[in-house]
Each structure stands twice: as structure tokens, then as C-alpha cells.
Amino acid sequence: MELSVEEITSVDKEITIKANREDLSPKFEEAYKKYKSQIQMPGFRPGRVPIGLIKKRFGKEIEMEEINSYVEEVYEKQIVPEHEPVGETQMLDLTWEDDKLEVVFKVGAKPEFELKDLKSITVDKMVHDVTDEEVEEEIERTLQRQGNWEEVDGEITEESRVTVDAVSLDNEGNAIEGEKDENQKLDLRQDAAEDFRKHLVGHKVGDVVKMELGEEEEVDRFELHVKKVEINHEAELTDEFAQEQSNGQAKNVDEFKSFIKSKMQEYYDQSSGDMFQQDAVEELTDAHDFEVPDVMLEQVKNNFVEYAKQQSGGNLPPNFDVEQYKENMSDQAKQQAKWAFINEKLQEKFEDIEIKPEDIDEFIGIEAAKYGATTDQLKSYYAQNPSQLENLRNSIRENKVFDKLSEEVTINELSKEDFRKKREEKNENQQIPQP
């Protein structure tokens, strides 16, 4: 048996295994003996079928099975220890002709690089303290959401909720058969309803309103048949309302305001932390220039496709161009792959990171609240799924890496408004590929 290695790039290799029948004969002979004791054929007692007949009838299948086993063994025992592949190794070719075996693997190697001085990395972070005015606005929204809708006969106003049948129209303004959405509710108070608000205000039940959405060639034409108009009578802010909306955590209106403020602050702090992580990954991957293995990039792209499939209910949409989508996701795939190596370096640097039982309990508690399960249910799930428990530990470890990073990198604190403005400007020319 012969192993040869071709360096394609600093992180990509092609490894070729060459062998012949002499190398594989011991495995073949052992396999034939095993199958001789198992194969039954008419005219022969069990275990007494001649080897020659077995080779003639089943030799090709038996030998290919042993060849695959041999290749897997060589990969695990020789290639893995010596080359330490990263990403999902690809088998480019396997041929067995004229008693000669040739197998070609494409493997990835870990890139060599040094971590930059973390102080030289600047990461934006949103800092926001919830104001009393914001609390009052949130309470007002809550009172509106929990209010009662009353059907009215008057004209539609900007405060109305309207029930319509939406009928799609062709370019000539004719109704398209089969394209009718019945009983669609439009809350005209919402920002997203601005276009509908402009067209519907002033109309009444029974009116038919034609409108268009979109620009140039991407225009949707339809007509709205107004069926019902409602106005909202918002709920009253009382101690009883406060208790109900807080699940008993607030006993009166004043405590409810404090409760709302704490929940809003918790939301902003969580959002700030999540966006800090995103920005830190972006800044660190931009600051480090190294190649990543092709096999790892392909692995990440395939994961993106699987995620798109999950988002579409388990099947990709009709005419979904997988290869084009993977090409569109190349930059994101490269960033994710680079971050995997940078994260590994950071964990080596922050060698004092330790995962304690209370860290796991806290993480499970947060996950349980997120998915509406009990902590005991999730603990039981992780106990029965060790691989998922390892994923959990990895998530905790990565969160601790970001906690350490926040102490090491240079933080550029921005107000909520400035942070959003800067992020909008940065994303202005970026397009996120859609499945």
C-alpha cells in the first residue's frame, strides 16, 4: 500500500491511497471464510458451499465491501493521526480495476496564524438605559393590545382595524381566478400598514378599493373588498390589570411600571450582547487574514442549504438553485469557517475558562423558558442525548469567550440611535441572499 500527498494550498491537500490485490488478499480471504459459513445454496449443506462458487456468484460484492472497509481503516488509522483533517473530508475518486485500487481524498488542514493584539480590535456596543417615557409608551401599546375591538358603521380612520377580502388583479385590472385571500385583518395603526392606511382611510364597509404595491416590474395589483370596520377600546390600567399582565409579579400599577422597565432593560441588554457578538465576529474575522480549507467552506455552505430547507418546512422551494445559493453565501461561509479557527485560538488564550454545574443549570433554565419546557424536562433530554449535551457545553464555552473578549477588545460605546444609524449605513449596500 502506498500513500501520497499533494499540497493544493496551505490548507488543502489531496491524499491518494494506492493498493493492489496482494495488499487486500488477507481481508478478502477472511471475508470469504466468513461468508462460507453463512451462505446457503441448493445442493450444498450449510457451510459447505465451495469457495470458488462463492467467488463466482458473490465475489464482486464481497470484495467491494472489504475494499470500502480497508479504505476506511487506512483513513482512520493513518491519514487522521498524521494529517489531522478539519472539516468534512471529501472522497474525490475510488477505482478498483485490474486488481489495482486507487482512492483520492480531499482533506483540510488547520491554518497557521497568530492572534492579533485584541486591544487593537474595536467593536461597537449599544448602550441604552430604558427611560420612563419608553415605559409609558410600552404600557400604552399593552393597553391597546389587550383592549376590545368594536364593530362600527362609520368611515375607516387611521385607528381602525379593517377586515377585507384581497383579490389579485392582472395587468389589465381583471381578477385572477383562484387568487383571493378572504377575511384578512389589517390593523391600520401599525407602521407596516402605511400603504393600506393611505388607500383605505375614508372608505366604508362595502367599498372596493384598488391599489398597487411595489415598483417598476415588481408591482402587485389587487383590490380590497371592505367587509368590517372596527375601533379599539383600550384596556384600563388598574392594579388588577397589572397583576394579570405580570402573572402576579406586580401587585399594583407602580410595581407594574417597574416590572415593565426591568423587562425592557433585560431585552435591550440581551440585544446589545447578541449584537456585540455579531460585531466581534465580524471585526475579528476581518482582522485575521488566512486561508480556510475548501472542504470546510463546502461543509458550511451545505449547512446553510439544510437550514434553508428547514425554514421551508423540510423541502426546498420549487426551482431553488442550490449551487447559486451556495455561491451567494460564500462570504458568510468564509466568515463562519474563519471564526471556528479564531474561536479555537481564543479558547486556548483564555485557558482559565471553566464550565461549572451552575453554568449548565443557568443555560438550561434560559432554554426552558424560551421553549416553554421545564428545566427537569430539558435535563432529562440532555441526559438521554450526550451529543446535544456537548453542544450545550460548547455554547456555554463560546459565551464565556465573548465575555472575555468584552474585557480585552476596545469597546466603542454607542447610544441606541447612533448604533442603529451606523448599522443601517453599514448594511445599506449589503444584500442577504434569500432562499
Residue 216 has pLDDT above 80, yes or no: no
Burial class (CB in 10 A: 0-12, 13-18, 19+), 190: exposed
269 and 213 inside one domain: no
Instruction: Give 358-381 pLDDT, tens digit per residue.
Output: 989 988 988 887 787 888 888 888
Give the model's pLDDT for residue 237. 97
Instruction: Give 69-100 pLDDT, tens digit per residue.
Output: 999 999 999 999 999 999 999 999 999 999 99
DSSP, collapsed to helix, strand or coil, labels residue 42 as coil
Whole-angstrom distance, CA of residue 266 vs CA of residue 128 = 11
Domain membership of residue 239 (yes or no) is no
256 and 166 inside one domain: no
Quote the cell numbers at residue 84. 489531522
Between the CA of residue 163 and those of 168, 197, 227, 233, 236, what are the distances in Å?
Answer: 16, 13, 6, 17, 25
Instruction: Give 307-334 pLDDT, tens digit per residue.
Output: 999 998 899 988 899 999 999 999 999 9
Residue 253 has pLDDT above 80, yes or no: yes
Report residue 431's pLDDT band, with 50, 70 and 90 as the boundaries: low
165 and 298 inside one domain: no
Whole-angstrom distance, CA of residue 118 vs CA of residue 121 = 5
β partners of residue 164? 184, 226
Residue 279 has pLDDT above 80, yes or no: yes
Domains: count for the chain: 3
219 and 278 inside one domain: no
Give the model's pLDDT for residue 252. 97
Whole-angstrom distance, CA of residue 80 vs CA of residue 71 = 12
For residue 358, the one-letter residue type is E
Residue 32 has pLDDT above 90, yes or no: no
Residue 45 has pLDDT above 80, yes or no: no
Residue 38 has pLDDT above 80, yes or no: no
Between the CA of residue 335 and those of 113, 282, 297, what are the distances in Å?
Answer: 15, 7, 9
Its pTM stands at 0.79
Report residue 390's pLDDT band, with 50, 70 and 90 as the boundaries: confident
Longest C-alpha distance within the chain, in Å?
95
Report residue 106's pLDDT band, with 50, 70 and 90 as the boundaries: very high
CATH, residue 226: 3.10.50.30
Torsion 391-397-400-401 (CA) sign? negative
Whole-angstrom distance, CA of residue 80 vs CA of residue 15 = 11
Whole-angstrom distance, CA of residue 317 vs CA of residue 309 = 8
416 and 282 inside one domain: yes
- Mean pLDDT, all residues of the chain: 92
Instruction: Give 176-190 pLDDT, tens digit per residue.
Output: 998 999 999 999 999
Q: Which residue has the higher pLDDT, 52 or 223?
A: 223
CATH, residue 312: 1.10.3120.10
Give the model's pLDDT for residue 430. 62
CA angle 59, 64, 65 (to 5 degrees): 100
Instruction: Give 227-244 pLDDT, tens digit per residue.
Output: 999 999 999 999 999 999
Question: Could you tell me which residues come within 8 angstroms of residue 293 by beta carbon, excluding any fewer than 6 positions away?
Answer: 11, 12, 86, 87, 107, 108, 109, 111, 337
173 and 306 inside one domain: no
What is the extent of the structural domain holding 421?
A: 118-127+252-427
